[in-house]
Amino acid sequence: MRSAKLLPVWIAVIGVSLGSATVRASEPDLEKAREKVRALEAEFQAVVAKVTPAVGAVSNYHATFNPKTGQVGVRLVGFGSGTVISRTGFFLTNVHVVDKAARITVALSDGVSYEAELFADTGSKGDIALLKLHGRKSWPFVDYNKGDAKKLEPGNFVFAMGNPFGHALDGTPAVTLGIVSGKSRNASERRFTYVGAVQTDAEINKGNSGGPLFNALGHFIGMNGLMHSTTGSNTGIGFAIPINQIRDFIAPMMKRQGKDVSYGYHGLHVGTAKSGGALVRRVDGGSPAAGAGVRRGDVIYKVNGKKVENRTAFVNVVDQLPEKKLVRLSFRRGNNTKTTSFKLGSQADAPRQRNAAEQALPLWERAYLGAEWKQVENAVYLTRVVATAGAGGAKLAAGDRLVRLGRTTITSIDQLVMILSYLEPGHKTRIAYKRDGRTREIGIVLSDAAEAAGIVR
Amino acid sequence: MKRTAIVRAALCLLPLPAAESIAGELRAAENAVMKASKSVRPTVVTVITPNAGDSDQTGVVVAQGGVILTTRRLLLRGGHVPKTVPVRFPDKDKTITAEVLADDEGTDTVVLRAKGARVKPISIGRSDDVQQGMWVLLVGQTYGQGRESAPTVSLGVVSNIVRDNDGPLWFHASALVNPGSVGSPLVDLSGDLVGLVTARRTPAGGQSIVLPFDRVRRAYRSRDPAVAKLLGRPPPPRAWRAHVADALGPVIQDAVRRASKAVVGVRSGGVQKGEKVAAAVGYPKGMSDKDKKRFDEYQKRITPRLVPGALAGHDRASGVVVGADGWILAPLRATGWPGPLRKLTVDFMDGARLRAKIVGTDERLRIALLKVKAKGLPVLEPAPARGLAAGSFVVALGFPHGSPGQAAPQSTFGVVSRTKALARLHPALSAVQTDAAVSGGNRGGPLIDLDGRLVGYLMDVNDTERTGYFGRVRARYGENTGLGFAIPTDVMAKFLPKLMAGGNFASGFLGISGVPTKKGILVQNVVESNSKGDPTTAKAAGLKVGDIVVSVGGAPTRSIEELRRALAPYASGDQVEFVYLRDGEETRVTAQLSPR
């Protein structure tokens, strides 16, 4: 392997290394080395330049509502990244980036901030969200069908692009270079579990979430979303959802505006069987797997034609699929082997506790009184009235005491907020107020809280 | 044959995007990394640590018959090395019990033997030949992530080497490490073992401290020759190939050699051995007299052992010579400004230490211009601004301890993440952002290109995360996040004359919070007084809740970002014109910007 021909060069190398700073590589070598590194740099720059226009910085505005004063508004609460994946302006990002957003804007490298709407997402369990951008006819994009994350191996060059810490808000994304550290990783956070994720040492920080991971060809191979960190800053362990997994969701998402395309629900709880395979520990009643006849104690050894040796392998195959996908299982029961198949259900079918807070209307769909208030003992007084909205239209003024809204006598702020949160904008009712010791009653049309907050829809 | 030609011709006519194949060097480098990673991964094992709370560590098979090398300190039980240690081989679910053959406290290593393990050992390299700037690969566990699958890999470069008479004593590598990677092998791009990761954090943050393998072998030679024999002999030196995998080292080394002459260490205050620390940094708030006494005693005891710079937190950094007649640019925070000034000194590579005084400061850019009495100092040639783009290769230089000592500056390699960054600090700033590790002592040092020319001055902006948009996120001081920023040389040239003239610039404070609307910023809250109790700009200008700020200094303010940028060119004390809407009527007012 080490040919004798190269001996003279060895001596030169010894000179370099032992002589520390005094002896250096001979000039021709340095020139050659520089040539190589320059070429490497130029190639990398070209790949980065090619994909830059399709990478965007996401701003997430939350609606704010102060129940103590009645003040409404929007507040910039978070940043993220994302990628334009179609000429028509479909934009891929993480669910946790656009969480509870009242307004979303996406800045591209042309320096313009575009309005975006949430088109569809994976719901609470997954982390894939599809946005639709507005404001242009044709968009620069990267082809999400080109990259193949399955072909990645540890050591492949990858680079991440995005908006770490909200620094790239003007739209020019930041690029960080690294390699694939591992693949088929399972990483979880409180809310999400990434199954079959790509692990990279390309520096990923808060704000990189939703941003693309590219390979050396500039192919879109994953969406960054999680990092392993105790401090919130990078530790060299970042995770991306592989593009192959995302692709299964994009087509149904593009068809189903405003609805979830959730990860598939099967209802199986498995462990690793001693004999190899996934041992079914429990099956949810009424779940797709139960309907297909899978029972506790069955040992699954094949899923969709792929052998599964343990629990991880089973999870890696099944938990990456979207709802409605067909799953074929081969399993052992006693001495028999059986095969069955079923369509994955939606995560919404999974037994879980519904959160009561989800029932009330979100702020941007709530009615707005057009006033701010304060409570003095058992009385609610208006402190500021917006001339153009609800209360202002009804000629109420600051200092008025609110007596009744509809048929309810108002005795506390909590009560008022509760009522408002269940009414829709445009709702007509009557309002009673007390001014200079006299109580009057007048008709009122409640306004739109979102409009008042400055939310663009 | 003919048909293929036609198909090809047809394909050529399609509007395909730019060339699809990666040309030579990127692929060549990638192939080298992958090949090395593939050959090393099967030799890496998980070593189960006995104490709950420690993450499992990594070990590497260095010889036939399952001979494993790993680090020692986490394996101790009751201060002693146990007789056996459980290890897990990659892609195996079961653990194997390995016997301890020997251990060495000096190098903090243990040699184990896992009988019956048929694993091809790692190929051994020459750690004495490790060069600054060369590519290295770290292969190991991360937080026990490797339990169910193969170990992970991380790419970095050797950022500096500390030598004694026997060769390298230890080196830093910028490959990012975590608790589980203690004991991980560090290999070159031929897949040859050059070192063992012994610790994860250095003053430079996020980097590994690597023990050269030749050191380990020498240590066992005197302690246990039989074990030393198992560790083999160093292979003959390898030829330098004209291959991209071998190219980065010499190029970086040459660039560092050219640029290091203009890098200096900057220190202010600083605590002498035995000195009362509180005199320099103050006591923690609300401390009782009794505790103050204990605090002083404790500090006296530990001060000599502390890493310089760690004590006062931020009194040491690097700087760059910007004028031959003694002008030095340094991070503002490192100079101790504006606190009571203690001794401010600048250390040069040749060992000279000179007193420095602060001539000008800019809080917005977080820099201070210092002057020392010197003539004919080396100044770096600026890199052409035009060639710089996202993806350009750069090296961050600096002294991790804030002073040169004997060593060459630490060099961390990275790419330009973006240009024109940090516009919100100052619109003219147009900073260069890099993923090269910038932390601790190398703040204030130069960012150079691969020809050793100056790209910019590394800024001290680690705290932007804290004051920035994510209230909860904070990088601890000195911690690398993968975001380094440098002030480009051409931008600095515009600021320098003002600083040389003794200018002190601080950012102004408006004192409103609001939301963006189509017309401007809708004021939702007005802060009445600043930290000194003086009225804020907003209060002085008469702004009220419900007003819409349309423009500041003539620049429209339709978003928070626009407002920030409109304000950024002004320093506190400047007169600024505000235009706002109140009840639909436009009002103009000029107010003096208050300090924060």
**Model pLDDT for residues B322-380, shown as the tens digit of each residue:** 999 999 999 887 776 665 456 788 988 888 889 898 999 888 888 999 999 999 999 99
Separation between Cα atoms, residue A294 and residue A285, nearest integer Å: 11
For A167-217, give the DSSP string: TTTTS--EEEEEEEEEEEEEEE-SS-EEEEEEEE-S---TT-TT-EEEETT
Top pLDDT among A240 and B182 is at A240
pLDDT band at A58 (very low <50, low <70, confident <90, very high): very high
- Where are the extended beta strands (E) located within A364-419? 367-368, 371-376, 379-385, 401-405, 408-409
Question: A325-337 pLDDT, tens per residue?
Answer: 999 999 999 889 9
Q: Which of B238, B462, B483 to mutate to test the interface with A (most CBs of A within 10 A)?
A: B483
Q: Which of B142, B408, B450 sits opposite A37 (nearest CB)?
A: B450
Active-site residue set of A: 96, 127, 209
The kind and range of the H/E element at A32 are helix A27-51
Question: B113-149 pLDDT, tens per residue?
Answer: 998 888 899 999 999 888 888 999 988 876 554 455 5
Q: Identify the residue whose tokens are 């070159």.
A: B188
Number of Cβ within a 10 Å radius of residue B342:
15
Chain B residues with CB under 8 Å of A148 CB are none
Q: Which of B129, B155, B470 sits opposite A206 (nearest CB)?
A: B470
What does the pLDDT average to over A307-323? 87
Separation between Cα atoms, residue A95 and residue A327, nearest integer Å: 25
Q: Identify the residue whose tokens are 């401010």.
A: B344
Separation between Cα atoms, residue A45 and residue B393, nearest integer Å: 9
pLDDT on residue B9: 39
Contacts 24+ apart (CB under 8 A), A403-407: A403/A432, A403/A433, A403/A434, A403/A439, A404/A430, A404/A431, A404/A432, A404/A441, A405/A429, A405/A431, A405/A432, A406/A430
pLDDT on residue A411: 87
ipTM, 2 dp: 0.77
pTM above 0.80, yes or no: no
Question: A68-104 pLDDT, tens per residue?
Answer: 777 777 788 888 999 999 999 999 999 989 988 888 9
pLDDT on residue B466: 35
Count the residues in chain B.
Answer: 596
Q: What are the φ/ψ torsions at residue B161 (nearest 5 degrees)?
A: -130, 130
What does the pLDDT average to over A143-159? 93
Report the share of chain B in percent with pLDDT over 70. Answer: 78
Q: Does the pLDDT of residue B477 top 60, yes or no? A: no
Separation between Cα atoms, residue B328 and residue B315, nearest integer Å: 16
Q: What is the dihedral of CA A4, A8, A12, A18, to 10 degrees?
A: 60
Q: HSE on the CB side for A99, CA within 13 Å?
A: 15
What does the pLDDT average to over B553-567? 82
Top pLDDT among A20 and A265 is at A265
The mean pLDDT value of chain A amounts to: 83
Separation between Cα atoms, residue B48 and residue B87, nearest integer Å: 6
Pick the range with the lowest mean pLDDT from A402-406, A419-423, B264-268, B503-507. A419-423
Interface of B with A in 282-321 (CB under 8 A): none
pLDDT on residue B337: 66
Separation between Cα atoms, residue B528 and residue B535, nearest integer Å: 6
Q: Which of A179, A202, A228 sits opposite B153 (nearest CB)?
A: A179
In this structure, the strands spanning B575-582 and B585-592 are: antiparallel
pLDDT band at B273 (very low <50, low <70, confident <90, very high): very low
Top pLDDT among A284 and B479 is at A284
Report the share of chain A in percent with pLDDT over 70. Answer: 87
Pick the range with the lowest mean pLDDT from A249-263, B50-64, B315-329, B463-477. B463-477
Chain B residues with CB under 8 Å of A44 CB are 26, 391, 415
pLDDT on residue B144: 52
How many angstroms away from the CA of B552 is the closest CA of chain A? 19
Separation between Cα atoms, residue B275 and residue B269, nearest integer Å: 12
Contact A236 B177 (CB under 8 A): yes
Chain B residues with CB under 8 Å of A204 CB are 482
* A147 → chain B, closest CA residue: B20
- The verdict on B141 touching A (C-beta cutoff 8 Å) is no
The kind and range of the H/E element at A447 are strand A447-448
